């Protein structure tokens, strides 16, 4: 198998335990990511002069944020600004921001028309010339004016850039961020817990904005997707000027969101459907099912599992997830049984005798040590309780999806705990390597009363990544943020470490924790990295 040659190190071996009947797992390397080498490009810089226009309200209590940005890296030599018809005007000292960070400069105020030269002007000198303005970045100039009516801004900028460089003048108004989540008791309050984790992330990000002197905050517009259709939510929030979304956390509604309006940006913590892997403005802080499924197949094959018996619920998410597991497992020489599926009003627990019989047949043919059950159920506790009564089910390994990683309900019930311990029940979950992980994990657990999972950390991080992208670009424009979000995610390390995204907005090359139940408790037995 192609990856065996790359396995350099056994990262971790599970110590023998009393309850577990399975041999210790060997932990392979993670799946390699495909990279395209960067080619060195010889660039010719040209000197450009562009004139741009914007409008400004004459309300002296309102700060108008002029934002300059370019489609390529440039060297900015000067900005000349003229605003006619003003009575008074002011630019506060040290209020101009480059890529969201404060630049030191003198203040500027006066009466009458505004005639101002920046960068190396007499009134405002930004300290160095030229100013390097990178492609995803921004230069924001906040100005207050008093006027009898709306006034026009005329800005002329001189810069050096490549032949395709274009610079633009926009304004920045944070507005509201949509937060569509399924609230209530569905799936053990999954949506409510993810929303709470998101809100804690927003609160922490807003605290950061206050600490660095920003005058805006991220404001969530929360809507319940169990009571309202996504299309109605999007139409309503569009009237409020919302073009940015945190959520939904589930794949079906996220897909519907993108199909209803493609002129938005959304970051989802937990939607892993592989069908969402498209070149659009949807980003995910969780690995896709394709990556997780292939990694789980990789782990099983590396531990000499020859045959898998899938048991699953017939729905879109489980069918797609299982397809990725089976495809990767068979591609590298494994055998996938046709499996046993729960359909209609059936419960998987009712199929326990049939599952037990199939395990016995496969164990007799291939040996119990070469057989594993891969389960994707609803009501997994009921299912595991039923299967714990069957002896053959307790002699083979069991594997589950990331959705069940560190699920404490499994080890709080005696029967499901017994099955999980006897079979070394194993799941994968995104590895958290950020410096703030433990602090944030503790606070999430305190506020939700739940063990902090990757999904909760990813919901928390989604708020930070979107907020930092808004701050860096000084923008809410979906097209601009679709370029800035991957740039920020790869440079920000909060709880989960840096996040590298591909052109589809999916995480790539991420390390995965391997969690197994041993001696009645969840244990991290290694890292696939």
Residue 33: per-residue pLDDT: 54
91 to 96, 172, 205, 294: CA distances (angstroms) = 8, 16, 26, 55
Alpha helices in 54-103 (DSSP H): none
**CA–CA dist 380, 419 (Å, integer):** 12
Name the residue with higher pLDDT: 19 or 82: 82
Q: At what angle do helices 289-302 and 316-331 cross, to 10 degrees?
A: 40
Determine whether domain 46-171 maps to CATH 3.30.230.
no
In the chain, domain spans = 46-171, 177-286+441-489, 290-431+512-528
Q: What is the DSSP string of 139-163?
A: EEEEEEEEESS-EEEEEEEEEEE-T
**CA–CA dist 147, 169 (Å, integer):** 21
Residue 36: per-residue pLDDT: 45
**CA–CA dist 115, 123 (Å, integer):** 10
Q: Enter the DSSP assignment of 102.
A: E
Residue 188: per-residue pLDDT: 64
Residue 197: per-residue pLDDT: 97
Residue 21: per-residue pLDDT: 55
Residue 43: per-residue pLDDT: 57
| Secondary structure (3-state) at 137 | coil
Query: Is the confidence at residue 365, as pLDDT, over 90?
Result: yes
Give the chain's mean pLDDT.
89
pLDDT band at 345 (very low <50, low <70, confident <90, very high): confident
Query: Is the confidence at residue 273, as pLDDT, over 90?
Result: no
pLDDT tens digit string along 156-199?
A: 999 999 998 999 999 999 999 999 999 976 666 889 999 999 99
On the question of a common fold for 177-286+441-489 and 290-431+512-528, the answer reads yes
Q: Which residues, at least 6 apart from 522, have a Cβ–Cβ distance to it below 8 Å?
A: 406, 408, 411, 515, 516
* Prior bond of 103 cis (ω within 30°): no
Q: What percent of the chain has pLDDT over 90?
A: 67
Residue 100: per-residue pLDDT: 95
pLDDT band at 15 (very low <50, low <70, confident <90, very high): very low
Query: Is the confidence at residue 39, as pLDDT, over 90?
Result: no
CA-nearest of 440, 432, 427 to 518 is: 427
Question: Which of 17-26, 304-313, 446-455 has the highest average model confidence (pLDDT)?
Answer: 304-313
Beta strands in 162-275 (DSSP E): 167-171, 177-181, 220-224, 244-246, 265-268
**CA–CA dist 28, 299 (Å, integer):** 6
Minimum mean pLDDT range among 151-155, 186-190, 291-295, 373-377:
186-190
Query: Is the confidence at residue 34, as pLDDT, over 70?
Result: no
**CA–CA dist 284, 296 (Å, integer):** 20
| Secondary structure (3-state) at 403 | helix
Query: Is the confidence at residue 492, as pLDDT, over 60?
Result: yes
> Sign (positive/negative) of CA torsion 445, 448, 452, 454?
negative
How far is CA 194 from its chain centroid?
13
Query: Is the confidence at residue 85, as pLDDT, over 70?
Result: yes
| Secondary structure (3-state) at 218 | coil
**CA–CA dist 452, 454 (Å, integer):** 7
pLDDT tens digit string along 373-425?
A: 999 987 889 999 999 999 999 999 999 998 898 888 999 999 999 999 999 99
First to last CA, the chain: 18
CA-nearest of 178, 205, 176 to 266 is: 178
Query: Is the confidence at residue 126, as pLDDT, over 80?
Result: yes
Q: What percent of the chain has pLDDT over 70?
A: 92
pTM of the model: 0.86
**CA–CA dist 270, 94 (Å, integer):** 40
Name the residue with higher pLDDT: 23 or 117: 117
pLDDT band at 12 (very low <50, low <70, confident <90, very high): very low
CATH number of 177-286+441-489: 3.40.50.2300
32 to 316, 405, 527: CA distances (angstroms) = 27, 23, 14
Query: Is the confidence at residue 353, as pLDDT, over 80?
Result: yes
Domain 290-431+512-528 fold is: Rossmann fold (3.40.50)
pLDDT tens digit string along 426-473?
A: 999 888 778 888 899 999 999 999 888 889 999 999 999 999 999 999
Scan for tokens 């199939």, then name that residue.
358
Q: Which residues of 290-329 are buried (b: 16+ CB within 10 A; e: fewer)?
A: bbbbbbbbbbbbbbebbbbbbbbbeeebbebbbebbbebb
HSE of 12, CA atoms in CB hemisphere, 13 A: 14
Minimum mean pLDDT range among 233-237, 292-296, 505-509:
505-509
């Amino acid at each position: 198998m192609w990856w065996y040659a790359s396995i350099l190190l056994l990262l971790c071996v599970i110590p023998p335990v009393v309850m577990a009947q399975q041999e210790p797992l060997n932990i392979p390397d993670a799946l390699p990511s495909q990279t395209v080498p960067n080619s060195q490009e010889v660039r010719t810089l040209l000197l450009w002069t562009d004139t741009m226009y914007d409008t400004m309200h004459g309300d002296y209590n309102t700060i108008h944020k002029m934002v300059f940005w370019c489609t390529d890296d440039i060297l900015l030599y000067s900005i000349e600004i003229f605003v006619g018809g003003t009575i008074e005007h002011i630019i506060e000292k040290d209020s101009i921001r480059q890529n969201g960070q404060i630049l030191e400069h003198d203040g500027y105020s006066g009466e009458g028309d505004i005639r101002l030269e920046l960068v190396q002007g007499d009134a405002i000198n930004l300290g160095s010339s030229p100013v390097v303005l990178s492609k995803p970045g921004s230069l924001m100039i906040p100005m207050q004016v008093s006027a009898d009516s709306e006034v026009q801004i005329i800005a002329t900028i001189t810069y050096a850039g490549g032949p395709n460089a274009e610079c633009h003048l926009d304004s920045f108004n944070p507005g509201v961020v949509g937060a569509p989540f399924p609230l209530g008791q569905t799936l053990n309050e999954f949506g409510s817990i993810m929303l709470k984790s998101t809100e804690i992330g927003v609160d922490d990000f807003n605290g950061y904005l206050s600490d660095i002197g920003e005058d805006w905050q991220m404001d969530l517009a929360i809507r319940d997707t169990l009571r309202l259709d996504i299309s109605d939510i999007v139409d309503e929030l569009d009237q409020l000027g919302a073009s940015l979304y945190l959520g939904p956390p589930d794949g079906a509604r996220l897909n519907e969101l993108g199909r209803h309006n493609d002129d938005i940006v959304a970051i989802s913590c937990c939607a892993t459907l592989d069908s969402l892997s498209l070149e659009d403005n949807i980003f995910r802080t969780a690995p896709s099912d394709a990556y997780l499924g292939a990694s789980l197949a990789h782990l099983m094959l590396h531990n000499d599992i020859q045959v898998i018996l899938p048991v699953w619920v017939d729905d879109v998410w489980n069918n797609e997830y299982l397809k990725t597991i089976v495809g990767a497992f068979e591609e590298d020489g494994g055998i996938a049984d046709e499996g046993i599926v729960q359909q209609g009003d059936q419960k998987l627990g009712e199929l326990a005798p049939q599952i037990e019989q199939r395990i016995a047949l496969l164990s007799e043919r291939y040996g119990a040590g070469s057989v594993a059950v891969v389960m994707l159920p609803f009501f997994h506790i009921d299912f595991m309780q039923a299967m714990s009564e069957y002896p053959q089910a307790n002699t083979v390994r069991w594997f589950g999806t990331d959705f069940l990683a560190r699920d404490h309900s499994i080890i709080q019930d005696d029967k499901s705990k017994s099955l999980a311990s006897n079979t070394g029940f194993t799941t994968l979950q995104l590895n958290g390597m950020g410096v703030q992980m433990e602090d944030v994990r503790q606070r999430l657990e305190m506020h939700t009363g739940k063990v902090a999972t990757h999904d909760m950390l990813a919901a928390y991080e989604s708020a930070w990544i979107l907020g930092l992208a808004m701050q860096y670009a000084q923008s809410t424009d979906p097209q601009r943020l679709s370029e800035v979000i991957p740039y920020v995610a790869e440079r920000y390390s909060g709880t989960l470490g840096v996040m590298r995204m591909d052109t589809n907005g999916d995480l790539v090359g991420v390390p995965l924790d391997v969690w197994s139940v041993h001696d009645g408790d969840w244990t991290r037995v290694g890292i696939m990295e």
